[in-house]
A and B are shown apart, each in its own frame.
Chain A
Amino acid sequence: KQEVTQIPAALSVPEGENLVLNCSFTDSAIYNLQWFRQDPGKGLTSLLLIQSSQREQTSGRLNASLDKSSGRSTLYIAASQPGDSATYLCAVKGNYQLIWGAGTKLIIKP
Chain B
Amino acid sequence: DGGITQSPKYLFRKEGQNVTLSCEQNLNHDAMYWYRQDPGQGLRLIYYSQIVNDFQKGDIAEGYSVSREKKESFPLTVTSAQKNPTAFYLCASSTMDRARVSTEAFFGQGTRLTVV
Contacts and interface: CB of A to CB of B under 8 A. Distances in A.
Interface in B64-82: none
Interface stretch (A14-22, A40-48, A61-69, A75-83): A40-48
Given A34-B104, A44-B90, A46-B105, A101 B110 contact: no
Given A101-B42, A102-B42, A43 B48 contact: no
B43 A100 contact: yes
A4 interface: yes
A36 B90 CA distance: 13
Contacts of B25: none
B89 to A, nearest CB: 10
**Dominant secondary structure at the B interface:** strand
A49 B109 contact: no
Given A43-B6, A43-B90, A97-B48, A102 B40 contact: yes
Interface residues of B, number: 26
Contacts of A103: 42
A32 B97 CA distance: 12
Interface residues of A, number: 24
A98 interface: yes
A89 B88 CA distance: 15
Nearest to A36: B107
Nearest to B38: A102
A4 B42 contact: yes
B102 interface: yes
Interface of B: 4, 6, 33, 40-45, 48, 56, 58, 88, 90, 92, 101-110, 112
15 contacts: A32-B104, A34-B105, A41-B110, A42-B109, A43-B108, A46-B104, A89-B42, A89-B43, A91-B43, A96-B56, A96-B102, A97-B45, A100-B42, A100-B44, A102-B40
Given A32-B103, A89-B42, A97-B58, 17 more contacts: A4-B42, A9-B40, A34-B105, A36-B107, A41-B112, A42-B109, A42-B110, A43-B6, A43-B108, A43-B110, A93-B101, A93-B102, A96-B56, A97-B48, A100-B43, A102-B40, A102-B41
